[in-house]
Homo-oligomer: A and B are copies of this chain.
Amino acid sequence: MVTLKDVAKAAGVSCSTVSAVLGNRAEKLGIKPETRKLVQRTAARMRYRRNAIAAQMKSGQANTLAMILPEGGTPEFVMRAATAATVEAEKHGCFMKIIAANGKEDFITRLDSVLSQCPAALLHWGKAGERGDYLMSAARECGVPVVFLDFSETIGSGSVRTDDRAGIAQAVEHLYALGHRRIAHVTTFKGERFGDERAEAFLAEMAKRSLPVKTEWIYRDECFRSGGPLVPFLERLFSEPDRPTAVSCGNDLIALRVMTALERQGIRMPEEVSVIGYSDLSFGVACEPELTTIHQPFDRMGETAVKLALDGGEREVLIPTELVVRGSTASPC
């Protein structure tokens, strides 16, 4: 077994230097980069096993965090948050476990297993749904804080979401500043919480600017089924003489659907109609024109959730969104 002393001897430095370097205190103590590197490399080559985990174990701070992914596939934005959360956890000396469970039974087994390791906190993406009661009662029983991402549970948990009211306000303000006055909003069916929140915010922002909103300009229905009602809706909408000059969409995937439908109607973007998305998924730059959208900082959501979790906080944090102007919006002709 290689000891710290062996490493110090081999590297030709003191034990306290080795300890400082391997404890990530080199910079704080003013140890030169060359020395840091020499010690790290020597320790690695000698396979010295005082690793970060061992040190934390000893000081009783071995922390595990666990992030529970939603069921039924992991969308791009969830993975973005999970990756950022993993990196952030490491900065605090914690390891992130990722729980991707299939079905409630599997979820319970995995959750129980993680809870038996005394995690510092649990992160959960989205509404817990059926799993929610079990999750919250098990976590409470074990005294483990829970932080929800992209969802706000009322009792005994923290939450990190993007400020979607302000995000929609950014979208409407951008279109308004370009000169648009007749704006449609297309989003998912009534009862879907993002659709509800974003549509409400849209109406509030339009009202604030005394802009007219006809009921026929608000689409709340199935957005993704091919042959669904979206295409006929847009055909009707854009055959009116007093048609909208811009469409605000509930998310980028909806914007893609809308752009394709407008294209098929021979409507030029952004000359005749501007389209703005929401989320800033990566395919937006492959749209023609490139999609103007509202950026939801999923990276920051993941980082913030970790910080909040380690605070044990039952707070609600709203992350500001950002307008990303590309080619799909312009002043109306």
> Measuring CB to CB, which residues of chain A are less than 8 angstroms from any residue of chain B?
21-22, 24, 36-37, 39-41, 43-45, 47-49, 51-54, 57, 60, 62, 64, 69, 74-76, 79-80, 82-83, 86-87, 90, 95-98, 100, 112-113, 115-118, 138, 141-144, 224, 226, 231, 252-254, 256-257, 259-261, 263-264, 281-283, 285-290, 327
Say how many copies of this protein the assembly contains: 2
Distance in angstroms from A92 CB to nearest chain B CB is 13
Flag if A83 contacts B74 (CB, 8 Å): yes
Flag if B86 contacts A224 (CB, 8 Å): no
The residue that A83 contacts in the complex, of B54, B82, B257, B282, with Cβ under 8 A, is B82
The residue that A22 contacts in the complex, of B39, B116, B259, with Cβ under 8 A, is B116
Flag if A282 contacts B76 (CB, 8 Å): yes
Flag if B224 contacts A285 (CB, 8 Å): yes
Q: CA–CA, A281 to B51, complex, Å? A: 38
Flag if A256 contacts B287 (CB, 8 Å): yes
What are the residues of chain B within 8 A of A138 when measuring CB–CB? 41
Distance in angstroms from A105 CB to nearest chain B CB is 10
Flag if A112 contacts B37 (CB, 8 Å): yes
What are the residues of chain B within 8 A of A231 when measuring CB–CB? 288
Flag if A87 contacts B112 (CB, 8 Å): no
Distance in angstroms from A164 CB to nearest chain B CB is 20
